[in-house]
Amino acid sequence: MDSLETALVKVEDLPQVKGRFLAFSAPLVVLLMNGREVSRQARFIDFDLLEKDVVYMLDALES
């Protein structure tokens, strides 16, 4: 099954998220699997690495 849940959160609207994920710069991309952080990128996002991380997560969901 190829599915991921995504969310776009503005810390101005939900300031508790800023503390929960230690979001001190923007943009911030955090990937969670089973409630645990598996990848984090802030400020300068490496989209090649992000794609690899997402593929890894999708492969893990299939197994």
Any domain includes 1 = no
Any domain includes 21 = yes
pLDDT digits (tens, 9 = 90+) for 24-52: 888 999 999 888 999 999 999 999 999 99
pLDDT of residue 2: 53
Any domain includes 55 = yes
Which residue stretches of the chain are H helix? Answer: 15-20, 47-62
CB distance 39 to 31 below 8 Å? yes
pLDDT of residue 3: 66
C-alpha–C-alpha distance, residues 13 and 9, integer Å: 8
Residue 26 lies in domain: 15-62
Any domain includes 20 = yes
Return the amino acid letter for 34: N
CB distance 61 to 3 below 8 Å? yes
Task: State the pLDDT confidence band at 4, using cuts at 50, 70 and 90.
Answer: confident
Any domain includes 56 = yes
Nearest to 28 by CA among 38, 13, 18: 18
Q: How many domains does the chain fold into?
A: 1
